[in-house]
Each structure stands twice: as C-alpha cells, then as structure tokens.
C-alpha cells in the first residue's frame, strides 16, 4: 500500500486530481455567491485563500512530480495551507456556534485584511471581497453549515496529505547498491 501511494504521489494525475478538487470547491463557492446570493464573509474569503494555496501547491506538484524537490515543495505547501484552512474553518464554526457559557462570543472582522503587497480584494473584488456576516448560518446541508463542511474537507485533505508524506519515507522502492 505504501509503495503504491508513493508511486501515486509521483504521478501527474495525483496532483491534477488535487487541483481539480480545489477548482471544484472554488467553483462551488462562486456558485453559492453568485447564483444562490449567499454573501461571503471575511472567514469565507480567508478559507477561499487557503483553498487557492492548496491549488497553488498542486500546481507545483504538477510541474514535475518525479522531481523530489518540487514534490516536497508541493507537499509542504499543501500541508501548510490545508492546516491553515482547517484552523480558519474551526474558527469560523466558533463564530456560528459560540460557547453558550461565554458572555460574549467571538466576532470576526468586518472587512478582509490582506497584506499591502497582495490586496486580493482590490485586485479581484468579485472573488475576494467580503460583505457577509460570519456568525450567520445561511446554508446547511445534512445539518452541517458551510464552515462545518470545510472542517471535514480540510481534515480529509490533511489525512490524505499525512498518508502521502508517510509514504514518501516508507514506501520508497529499495535502492540498489550494486547493479
């Protein structure tokens, strides 16, 4: 199993599969925004950026999946941005479902705060401008809100990432000392 997973991570198809899943999730977010009229909040936008980060990491992996340096860089980017996305999604869930024992629940910003060198909301406001309320549950499916689904999605991404990283070490083909 580990060797097969290691070989799969060295295929362009595996990285394209990750990229296609990110594109599908981003397209779904835009569908909800523009066709279902669900206003994205600040946390929604940050979660989008995390997904774009996973997509960028997938692009690095697509370039040359057989190259150990690029594959490692892609895996690092994938793991870091998926973990960041999970952190954001968990925080977003805490805004929607605050602890009833707290007098004042957590609140999110009213506007996105991107660095001056990358004002994404100014460059592409159709995708990165927030005008919704983080604490409102505006959509649910099977009893879960959008951020709760993102917790599951980012968690699944991290489980797959963890398995692939482990496979890089224990699924390697044996090295030949003498040919």
The catalytic residue among 71, 134, 172, 176 is 134
Active-site annotation holds for 10 = no
Phi-psi domain of 6 (left: phi exceeds 0; alpha: psi -120 through 50; beta: other): alpha
**Global pTM value:** 0.86
Q: For residue range 107-166, what is the model confidence (pLDDT) as tens digits?
A: 777 788 888 898 888 898 888 888 888 888 888 889 899 999 999 999 999 999 999 999
2 SS3 class: helix
3 given a catalytic annotation: no
Instruction: Delineate the domains of the chain, giving CATH numbers in brackets.
Output: 2-170 (1.20.1550.10)
């Amino acid at each position: 199993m580990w060797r097969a997973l290691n070989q799969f991570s060295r295929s362009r198809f595996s990285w394209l599969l990750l990229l296609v899943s990110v594109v599908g999730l981003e397209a779904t977010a835009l569908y909800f925004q523009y066709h279902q009229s669900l206003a994205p909040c600040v946390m929604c936008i940050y979660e989008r950026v995390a997904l774009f980060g996973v997509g960028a990491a997938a692009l690095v992996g697509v370039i040359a999946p057989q190259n150990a340096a690029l594959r490692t860089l892609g895996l690092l980017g994938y793991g870091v941005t998926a973990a960041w996305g999970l952190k954001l999604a968990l925080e977003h869930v805490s805004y929607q479902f605050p602890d009833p024992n707290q007098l004042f629940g957590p609140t999110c910003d009213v506007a996105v705060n991107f660095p001056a060198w990358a004002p994404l909301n100014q460059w592409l406001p159709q995708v990165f401008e927030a005008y919704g309320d983080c604490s409102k549950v505006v959509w649910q499916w099977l009893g879960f809100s959008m951020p709760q689904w993102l917790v599951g999605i980012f968690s699944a991404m991290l489980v797959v990432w963890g398995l692939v990283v482990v496979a890089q070490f224990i699924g390697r083909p044996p090295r030949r000392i003498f040919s």
